[in-house]
Amino acid sequence: MSKSTPEHFLLSKEEMKTYGYKIVDILADHFDTLCDKTVVTQGNRKEMDALLDDQLPYEPSPADKVLNHVTRDILPYTNQVSHPKFYSFVPGPSNFISAMSDSLATGFNVFSGAWTNSPTASKVEIITLHWLLQMFGFPIKKGGGIFTSGGSMANLTALATARKVRLGEDFSKACIYLSDQAHSSNIKAIRVLGFKKEQIRVIPTDMEFKMSINKLKNAIAKDTIQGLTPFCIIATAGTTNTGTVDPLMEIAKISKKEKLWMHVDAAYGGGAILSENGKSLLKGIEKADSLTVDPHKWFFQPYEMGCLLVKNHKWLSQTFTEHPEYLRDTEGNTSEINFYDHGIQLTRRFRALKLYMSMKTYGLSTFKNAVQHSIQLTEDLEDLLRMSPKWEVISPATLAVINYRYNPVNYNLSEKELNTLNEYISKQIIKAKAAVLVTTILQNQVVLRMCLINPNTKMKHLKDTINLCESYGDDYLKNKKTSVDN
């Protein structure tokens, strides 16, 4: 490619093709061999400092050299979140069609903030939002929504909307209710919006990790008596820790009776709506005023793609519309949505395209089967663990999440010893780069948590990992016994 000139950003068509084809080859190879790759990466700051030169590059470098450097030194050093043995947090099972769609959206640099700028992008966003509204039983004509960078931004957008619609400008006496299992992004959002800590009511969960309805009712009653303004309940449909769905029907009833805003955070669990048993678990989700779902989780999209759905699209424009003079010529009629009026961002990438193209290409039935596979697989794993005298299931398979711990019956280990043992197993699995399997804490117990939403995860992967966990666990117990005997 040419040396630095004022036109340096211009590549010839042939140069672009050569470069682009190389990237397509790299990606096709990546997707093709992903299941055989090492899922875990580790690298401390010192190692990364040694690996990557951070000099400001004043002079140009050959494109191939930079590309080779990136494929050799950068891309391999990330955990493979789409790998079948990435079991932790919420995995990111992406798909090739969406990855390519994202390249098109980026390549064309579509600005999807204003209708006048890109009417088709706005229309595709409306279409894909309608698909989601339909799936979740929200009204299509009256309802609305917006794609965001992820669930955290969708929750923030939802709570900003709720505050504006229900409270206007004065929210000093308002109280918000959410369970101790709600995702931290909700607390972050509440704080970003300027609510004080004293306005947040963290409602304890019951033995099944569901928000306690009795405690919720008590908290609302207490606040009302004290002259405060109960305002919003955040229910979770698919908690991050256990996959639990809060009692949505009962929460909806309370919200209606007390005139509270009902927000449902289904960032992770929302995808389950596609399967029959998921749908029945999520019953009541259609009653929400606002709903967060993350297509970059269980709708198999690459990062970043979150989504907020609302019962009434006017709530969004009511919350986010400003009329700066420099945008006066982009203001059209209300049916021609300017998505910058429906959320926080003005300049927005064309996120809807990847959901649109992948849904059309694979068909909803493929998405459904993938979700159903994961739910079934998690239940099968639960059966397997329950049949073994070595494992204890701590929270049952729920929306593709399961928590368990190694607790061989004949050892009579104390809670403290069990915690140390399970932490050890997780650390060893990661050290061996065999899987990403980290711990969480449930009712003071350290547990191994799996979130199995990747359709490429099969029983053979799970059995491999469980067997390896057992061998690390047994080694640990043997060594412990030897040191006690000595």
Instruction: Return the bridge partners of 398, or none.
Output: 401
| Sole window of 104-112, 261-269, 329-337, 459-467 interacting with ligand PLP (rule: CB under 6 A) | 261-269
Among 267, 310, 370, 371, binds ligand PLP (CB under 6 A): 267
User: Measured from the CB of residue 187, what is the shortest distance to ligand PLP in angstroms?
Assistant: 11
Phi, psi of 235 (to 5 degrees): -95, 155
Beta strand segments in 68-121, E: none
**What's the CA gap between 232 and 175, in Å, rounded?**
7
Residue number, 195 or 268, with CB nearest to ligand PLP = 268
User: Measured from the CB of residue 21, what is the shortest distance to ligand PLP in angstroms?
Assistant: 32
What is the CB-side half-sphere exposure of residue 391 using CA atoms within 13 A?
24
Instruction: Return the bridge partners of 310, or none.
Output: 144, 290
Is 152 an interacting residue with respect to ligand PLP (CB under 6 A)? yes
Residue number, 294 or 341, with CB nearest to ligand PLP = 294
Q: How many C-beta atoms surround the C-beta of residue 70 within 10 A?
A: 13
**What's the CA gap between 131 and 3, in Å, rounded?**
48
| Sole window of 149-157, 212-220, 381-389, 428-436 interacting with ligand PLP (rule: CB under 6 A) | 149-157
x/- binding map, residues 86-115, to ligand PLP, per CB under 6 A? ----x-------------------------
- For the record, the structure tokens of 296 come out as 């970059």
Among 125, 294, 341, 392, binds ligand PLP (CB under 6 A): 294
User: Measured from the CB of residue 241, what is the shortest distance to ligand PLP in angstroms?
Assistant: 9
User: Measured from the CB of residue 271, what is the shortest distance to ligand PLP in angstroms?
Assistant: 11
Among 113, 145, 150, 343, binds ligand PLP (CB under 6 A): 150
Is 265 an interacting residue with respect to ligand PLP (CB under 6 A)? yes
Q: Are the CB atoms for 160 and 331 separated by under 8 Å?
A: no
Is 306 an interacting residue with respect to ligand PLP (CB under 6 A)? yes
Task: Count the residues in the chain.
Answer: 486
Q: What is the DSSP string of 111-144?
A: --S-TTT-HHHHHHHHHHHHHHHHHTT--TTT-E
395 three-class SS? strand
Residue number, 157 or 236, with CB nearest to ligand PLP = 236
- Give the list of residues 6+ apart from residue 51 with CB closer than 8 angstroms, or none: 43, 73, 77
Is 268 an interacting residue with respect to ligand PLP (CB under 6 A)? yes
User: Helices marked H in 388-458 — which ranges?
Assistant: 415-431
User: Measured from the CB of residue 151, what is the shortest distance to ligand PLP in angstroms?
Assistant: 3
User: Measured from the CB of residue 326, what is the shortest distance to ligand PLP in angstroms?
Assistant: 31
Is 270 an interacting residue with respect to ligand PLP (CB under 6 A)? no
- Rounding to the nearest 10 degrees, give the CA dihedral for residues 260, 266, 272, 277: -40
Residues that bind ligand PLP (CB under 6 A): 90, 150-152, 183, 185, 236, 240, 265, 267-268, 294, 306
